[in-house]
Structure 1
Amino acid sequence: MSAEAQNVNSMDKDDVLRVLEQYALEELEANLVTFYLDNVGVDYSRSEFLNNVTSLATDQDISKIVHILFGRTPESISLNSVLRVFELAVEEEEREINGVYYTPEKVINYILEQTIHGDDTVCDCACGAGAFLVQATTRLRQITEKSIKTIIRENVYGSDILENNVRETKIALSLLAAENGELVDNNDFNIIQADALRQDWNDAFPEIANDGGFDVIVGNPPYINIQTMDKKTKEHVLDQYDTVQSGNFNTYIPFIELGIELINEGGKVGYILPLNYFTTLTGEDLREYLQTGKYVSEIVDFGDTLLFDDALTYTAISIFSKSSKSSFDYIKVDSVDDLNNLPDRDFIDIKYSSIDSEKWRLLDEDEFGNIRKIESFRPLDEVSGIHTGIATLKDSVYIVDAVDLDSEYFTITYEGETYRIEKEITEELVKISTIEASSDLKHNAKRIIVPYKKQIQRTLAGDGKQVETTIIPEDELKEEFPGTYEYLEAARDELATREKGDGVDYEPWYKYGREQGLEYIGERLYTPTYSSGPKFLHHETEYSLFANGYAVFPKTVDIEILERILNSKVMDYYIRNTSKEIQGDFQCYQKNFIRKFSVPEFSSSEKDELISLSDQKEIDQYLIKKYGLSLEVSN
């Protein structure tokens, strides 16, 4: 491993925080930059910018800070190490509010290789500490042989909403110049502090506007939910961007539109993005926008590989342009290291005519044909009801352990006091995520307090059996279930903390946080939300409540038949090719991903034959033939 790699890999967030407990951020920057420049051996006295940056440095502080960060005093540190310290120094609150995350160097380099091919103007609209722009400057130097200073002045542009990030990007570019024996100063930078989504880019950089736009936009756009945005920005984005008209969005979505709008006709956009923009409901406007303009050039999907140490986000490199081709290239890889070998691997050619903005299925022709066959019969959401479970938003208060049961009561201990809970006000609760097999349901000991009346059992047209529920009035609860009322009264303050206590008015105060999942009854098949392969568990009960997953209530198909179909290779293949995946080979079984899976008609003899099969491989072979699929069953 190179010394540079050792420096970067030895970076630790806790060490950076230790420094920041003793020094202001500007002091950390000053001492680290001074140490770097002294090792480079450049005379930076003529740079007003670097003189200002390093003015707070002292020999004693340099030694102390470098020792804390690296566990020793190295002979030198790399520019990447300096950048990594800057990125780790972002306060957690700022990271959450502004969606700041570190991008692996191999990802940056791949994006730049796919986008920068000449004397291009390059912009990162949310530049962070400058990682993309530093590497872009290096690549432009290799291609154009221009000086670093000239490239910084003529080719490199950026913005960030945080003042610290703007300063650190300028520092990073200055250090790159110094490393090459050059000095830059304040008037050499095209880096501005701005909210990119609200910025008037023509006004900020009129020379770029006069040329028709940037040649290249790159970056790792911020991932911020609309709920955390300030009101003015939210209103502006909803008014100005076509990709967020559903009203619920994450900021990376309008950043894609912004990037495409800012490039010239021959330009390219290269981003690392959450891959859920392929499938999420909030991304449908974006998918429609990308399909209509035929803006996608290439997607490298990292699947369930997590690229960011500090974020649980599954990602894909996405390259966009205005070339309006009829298709784009797609490939799924297992790791960042696979980026080195992509030229030797076959990309799938995805035709725009084969994808639907409702949800993208990025498949080759054989896979696409199989999926069409699997969806060609009766959709699952027509032959059954697919429902989510209850959501109290405070399970710790409502759930009771049935092992404490006597003839009439459960007992529960809360804050050192023991309370009696009337059996009549509880029901069985199945926490789907904790159940491994249908046989486990026979021994399920969980009960839940249900402060609701259930009335009028009925059969809904096309949606199975249902009961109507109403909350038990407080005076009635107190009179008929005094033990439960006393317990809930003791836990009243805790119940008030639901939704973070953010002004949500529960009336009455003991009602569930969400009144969902209470009304459906009947035999059902449970599925966890995420599973490594299908796991639909048959529960013969009519009345149990459930949580942490979904239940399928058959309407026009035998439950034994449906159980075999949903647990088959056919469903496994379907989900692996149409759903989203998380780390550990877990696929998503939300209603949105299973509702279009379809169920063929079976004759009486076919039903008998399928029910008679006990070996899973035989069941899979039978169903693959029934669906007419081009699939093999592995041993």
Structure 2
Amino acid sequence: MKFQEISGKLTGFIKKYNYLTEDGHANVLFLLKCLVLKYLSDNHRIDFERHKKDIKKKFTFDYIMGLWADEPIQAPFWDQLESSALVIGDDIWKWVCVLVEESPSLEGENPGLIGSLYEESLLINHKKNHGIFYTPENIARYMAANALKKYQGADALNNIRILDPACGSGSLLSAVYDHIILKYSDTSQINKGKRHQMLLQHCLIGVDRDPIACLVTRLILTLKGGNYVNPLGIFNGDILTEDLVAAESIDVVIGNPPYVGHKEIDADYMKNLKNHYAEVYQDKGDLSYCFVYRGWELLKPEGQLIHITSRYFIEAFYGKPLRAFIKKSFRIHEIVDFNGLRIIAGVGVDPAIIRLEKKEMVASNQVLQVKRFFIKNHKVETYPELIQLLEEESQRDEPSENELFESFEIEQSQLMDDSWRLYSPSTQRIIEKIEKKSPFTLDNVVQSFQGIITGNDKAFVFDRSDPILKTFEAEFLKPWIKNKDVRIYSVAKPQMTILYSNTIGTIEKYPQVLKHLEKYKQKLKNRRECKNGKLPWYKLQWGRDPEHFERRKIIFPYKATQNRFAIDEHNCYFSADVYGMILKPRLYHQMNEEFLVMLLNSQLYNYYFKSYGKKMGDNLYEYYPNTLLRLGIPDINEEDIRYFKDSYDRIIQLKKNGDHELFSQALSEIDDWFYHYFDLTQAEIKIVKNKS
């Protein structure tokens, strides 16, 4: 309630007094001063009542901190943002006094609360616009404890340098500070004071592009001490492009780097990054990849790096260079894979924690610890319990069994650059059995293609009952389906039609089509391919090869909760959230669409793909061809092909008839065939059934 009440007062102020200044930063600075003033007053470090009049006249960080220090401070506390004292009217000053004197007390509270209030109340849309998502306290505590595992004893920490390269409001540095003070300072205030000064002036380093976030970090660290100390290691700047920290001068890098994809990055900035970070940052890589490389540059030999970051790099196609770099440049101590649990509130990114040690050479038998959460319907309010379990587990010498996550070791040398398959021993045995009897990959037997991008669906896609379709030439009208229409073994009857204009030579020959498309001409002309002259304004943005659609093919959704493959017999065209596959020429093996669809829809291959497929949220997977086509495919004989052809026909007929019981029975028979073919034991079959 304390947090919510104060947060409500801050947001209420912004709504009521937003005219205080046209500069939004000044409003935030004003409220931060109010919070600092309240914290110092509630914790009896300044006498608010005694200094009321002077504070109103000199409402600056320097003056407030000077009251705490009992003398004017020598160096400006944060001169990048504050140039002069703010003139405060009587109404606003009354609001300040109510906040300081009548709001719930902050006595004894961790100053990190100020960072939480800043993030909750003052950022509004700023976080999402900049790919910034701050680290929850419990995760920060876990990361701090693990980042410092190597440094045992107070003496080991005397000269340690710890960097957060994108420090935000300081949650990770705050957690590091708390861990060191709690574990390595004795109870005397003198000792704590010395440790406080050492941490703020020598040990803790933070960098961020946001000057206000840097200010919040400074405030939190300063307020943690009984006496005023000015932090010297917090810098406003860009760690990726500026030389703010010397190479190989850092012992520990602890970070939550921004999650920013290539589409959100300025072109010139991206070019600069690709020049400097070419080894890890290519094509459609994420900005966070650069932070790993930069951390490696700044770390001393055998220095530690721990990041909470998007888990996508583990499997993503464009994460391959980063995976190769990590494997050769670091010893991987631990990967915590939350497996789609979005444990940072309000963030549509699936996180993982990775802990690394900079090494020139990594032993061939080096093992790493994997902790991976099981897929369950966890509620947001239970997430703190999950993190607590992680903390308890990290304090044990041996991993323990629990129902929330699995913990196992794998050899670092087993991690392949194409994808890090983090298999438990039981999963490893099952996958080995599949791949031992699979001489091909799916890529060997099929060619994949993506659906169409129109560039403006309103111009080209219609409900099939739309009367305007009768005015168009039939040769340009094609059945149209989307992701939701692709089901296991079947494709829903198309309810939409696409005007496939890419086969139109001269648009003027078709006046009704021209009349319709001219309504959208300006928007169509603004598409990139039209602007650069590669595409006439009336054509689809990415129409693909029509011959791929005008044939029998296997189709599947780009994102799905489980394998959903079907044979399209009706020459459907489809949107970019659907992919198609056509068989390659059969040069040396038996293969047909029926067998592939039954194989890919089986429980075993659902389990197989999910063992390494790119996870997106609690129970959603990305069926991107670069990942899917790595599936191993067995080479079966003509007799087996006939069996699957007959079984497929039976399954399709049962599905049409709506005979659910016999349909399920037929699917079970196919599943059993594959279990037997790949020599799975009853225990392994049980694992597959429980997890697929």
TM-score by length of structure 1 reads: 0.83
1:166 is aligned to 214
1:551 is aligned to 580
Shift of 1:194: 1.9
1:192 is aligned to 235
Task: Tell me, yes or no, if structure 1 residue 258 matches structure 2 residue 294.
Answer: yes
2:280 is aligned to 244
Shift of 1:550: 1.1
2:354 is aligned to 318
- After superposition, residues 67-466 of structure 1 pair within 5 angstroms as 73-76=103-106, 78=109, 79-88=111-120, 95-96=127-128, 98-116=130-148, 117=151, 118-119=156-157, 120-145=160-185, 146-147=192-193, 148-177=196-225, 181-185=226-230, 188-201=231-244, 213-230=249-266, 233-244=269-280, 246-322=282-358, 324-325=362-363, 326-333=366-373, 335=383, 337-342=385-390, 343=393, 344-345=399-400, 347-375=407-435, 376-404=438-466, 410=469, 420-436=471-487, 441=492, 443-453=493-503
1:179-237, Cα deviation, whole Å (9 max, x unpaired): xx22123xx4211122101222455xxxxx6xx52221112112233454456643443
1:415 is aligned to none
For 2:449, what is the secondary structure of its paired residue?
strand
Counterpart AA for 2:18: E
For 1:347, what is the secondary structure of its paired residue?
strand
Q: Larger deviation: 13-22 or 364-373?
A: 13-22
1:32 is aligned to 35
1:416 is aligned to none
Contact 1:433–1:548, Cα closer than 8 Å, also in 2? no
Q: Larger deviation: 41-50 or 153-162?
A: 41-50
- The whole-number CA distance in structure 2 between the counterparts of 1:606 and 1:13 is 70
1:491 is aligned to 520
For 1:99, what is the secondary structure of its paired residue?
coil
1:103-128, Cα deviation, whole Å (9 max, x unpaired): 11111111101012351321111111
Contact 2:208–2:239, Cα closer than 8 Å, also in 1? yes
Counterpart AA for 1:155: C
Q: Larger deviation: 340-349 or 147-156?
A: 340-349
1:511 is aligned to 539
Match of 2:641 among 604, 607, 616: 607
**Percent identity (aligned):** 21
Contact 1:16–1:88, Cα closer than 8 Å, also in 2? no
- The whole-number CA distance in structure 1 between the counterparts of 2:9 and 2:631 is 46
1:462 is aligned to none
Cα distance change, pair 386–230 in 1 and its aligned pair in 2 (3 A): closer
Unaligned 5+ runs, structure 2 = 21-26, 47-64, 186-191, 375-382, 394-398, 401-405, 651-662
Contact 2:491–2:566, Cα closer than 8 Å, also in 1? no
- The whole-number CA distance in structure 1 between the counterparts of 2:118 and 2:211 is 13
- The whole-number CA distance in structure 2 between the counterparts of 1:589 and 1:548 is 10
Aligned residues: 584
1:501-559, Cα deviation, whole Å (9 max, x unpaired): 99565631112122325340321222111212211122212464454211222344222
1:469 is aligned to none
Q: Larger deviation: 358-367 or 312-321?
A: 358-367
- After superposition, residues 465-614 of structure 1 pair within 5 angstroms as 472-473=504-505, 476-479=506-509, 481-498=510-527, 505=533, 507-516=535-544, 518-520=546-548, 521-542=550-571, 544-555=573-584, 556=586, 557-610=591-644, 611-612=646-647
Contact 1:126–1:219, Cα closer than 8 Å, also in 2? yes
For 1:316, what is the secondary structure of its paired residue?
strand
Contact 1:575–1:588, Cα closer than 8 Å, also in 2? no
For 1:357, what is the secondary structure of its paired residue?
coil
For 1:452, what is the secondary structure of its paired residue?
helix
1:352-396, Cα deviation, whole Å (9 max, x unpaired): 221211111111344234324434332222222222111112112
Contact 2:38–2:99, Cα closer than 8 Å, also in 1? no
Cα distance change, pair 584–518 in 1 and its aligned pair in 2 (3 A): farther
For 1:400, what is the secondary structure of its paired residue?
strand
- The whole-number CA distance in structure 1 between the counterparts of 2:2 and 2:291 is 32
Contact 2:481–2:572, Cα closer than 8 Å, also in 1? no
1:626 is aligned to 677
Unaligned 5+ runs, structure 1 = 204-208, 412-419, 454-471
Shift of 1:173: 1.4
Contact 2:166–2:206, Cα closer than 8 Å, also in 1? yes
Shift of 1:158: 1.3
Counterpart AA for 1:150: M
Q: Which protein is richer in strand relative to its size? A: 1
- The whole-number CA distance in structure 2 between the counterparts of 1:266 and 1:601 is 47
C-alpha root-mean-square deviation of aligned residues, in Å?
3.3
- The whole-number CA distance in structure 2 between the counterparts of 1:591 and 1:80 is 45
For 1:601, what is the secondary structure of its paired residue?
coil
- The whole-number CA distance in structure 2 between the counterparts of 1:189 and 1:113 is 23
Cα distance change, pair 298–563 in 1 and its aligned pair in 2 (3 A): same
Shift of 1:67: 8.5
Counterpart AA for 1:403: S
For 1:192, what is the secondary structure of its paired residue?
strand
Q: Larger deviation: 589-598 or 346-355?
A: 346-355
TM-score by length of structure 2 reads: 0.77
Counterpart AA for 1:184: V
- The whole-number CA distance in structure 1 between the counterparts of 2:130 and 2:202 is 28
Contact 1:215–1:264, Cα closer than 8 Å, also in 2? yes
Shift of 1:13: 10
Contact 2:166–2:256, Cα closer than 8 Å, also in 1? yes
Shift of 1:252: 0.9
Contact 1:35–1:62, Cα closer than 8 Å, also in 2? no
